[in-house]
Structure 1
């Protein structure tokens, strides 16, 4: 039932109220159309690992091509919006607390990364079509910083045992390179490994890096 339908019969509707009703209705329809476009683009990226075309999104969302351009301007803007929408629903889990044994912390961090990265692989692969886009570069840097921060927090005792800040930064860089989203894509897409096998490789890699640096610190 529309807003106008609940007004008492016989009562005149002030012009400003009528305008507000129409405006509110247009805003709701516009928001619904925007959501349909975003969800259609998400589904297409998940299915193909490719950035969808405006025509393809319009067809999937059952809207006009003009509507897509009205809401997003171009396919790059739509893609960035999809990235942000996915990011709102897919978050890195909190790093494990340092009171747990090293093996348990390694397992918890790897499990969190595996669950996160495997969900966003199609999005990252599709983003390659927009290499160099400032907004996507910014979000990639933010994700890498999240991983770096989680690494320092999860393995605080191990980092504290290293000789100096340079050694800590070097270890963090090594972990970041070994456990990057691009490295996960290599294992899953190029090498065709299962989630379980790829995760086991990462656990071994992370454990080896930590133990190697701790071994040097004890010498």
Structure 2
């Protein structure tokens, strides 16, 4: 899986930082990247000590920049959001609405492969964090809005078909096929496309 790099946004017009501030920001960026790398390697809940060691900073430095581990998970959540929102802004290639809806399977599968470890770690902590739960609800809402926008009105207003398609396009469905059923990305995509194609072919109102 391609390494996801933490890119800290810098507001337009932000003046260059002095040496101390720059060193502090560099330490903070290394801490976040260390967290991302550890989660990507399979550490669902890395300790502050492990993050500090990977970032090559002291434990006090970690807690100087982040009051608790939840704050670090919020940074990870921002990475997930950035990956998915960037994908949402990418123009579709399909000429028809059916082609675009089926294209969502491939697009989201690609994104889920990139953010899978981070998403699973976030899910493990979401029940303890209202902030992470809110972040997740936001991304679910964005995905539903995109799907509703691409579907014709009669399908979007069919509650059974809409909810079924939305479920099949979710990370949960992708994760089940990839991890529990041990399918390859291409086979998982094939299964989801077949299921969604069947739903798109059904008469509205069924």
TM-score (norm 2): 0.81
Whole-Å separation in 2 of the counterparts to 1:95 and 1:137: 28
| Aligned counterpart for 1:171 among listed residues 161, 165, 169 | 161
**Are residues 49 and 122 of structure 1, via their aligned partners in 2, closer, same or farther at CA, if it must alter by over 3 Å?**
farther
Structure 1 contact 33–63 (Cα < 8 Å) conserved: yes
Whole-Å separation in 1 of the counterparts to 2:102 and 2:123: 30
Structure 2 partner of 1:43: 37
Structure 1 contact 51–79 (Cα < 8 Å) conserved: no
Instruction: Please give the per-residue CA displacement for 1:110-164, whole angstroms capped at 9, x wherever unaligned.
Output: 1111111111111121123313211111111111112111111222x3xx235x9
Residue 30 of structure 1, CA deviation = 0.7
Aligned length: 188
**Are residues 134 and 115 of structure 1, via their aligned partners in 2, closer, same or farther at CA, if it must alter by over 3 Å?**
same
Residue 95 of structure 1, CA deviation = 6.1
Which SS does the other structure have where 1:92 is aligned? helix
Unaligned runs of 5+ in 1: 1-20
Instruction: Please give the per-residue CA displacement for 1:72-120, whole angstroms capped at 9, x wherever unaligned.
Output: 11111111112213432453344637x8235522332111111111111
Residue 216 of structure 1, CA deviation = 4.1
TM-score (norm 1): 0.77
Whole-Å separation in 1 of the counterparts to 2:49 and 2:162: 43
Structure 1 partner of 2:99: 104
Which SS does the other structure have where 1:50 is aligned? coil
Residue 199 of structure 1, CA deviation = 0.6
Whole-Å separation in 2 of the counterparts to 1:44 and 1:65: 16
Q: Give the CA RMSD over aligned residues.
A: 2.4
Structure 2 partner of 1:141: 137
Structure 2 partner of 1:211: 201
Q: Choose between structure 1 and 2: higher helix proportion.
A: 1
Structure 2 contact 77–122 (Cα < 8 Å) conserved: no
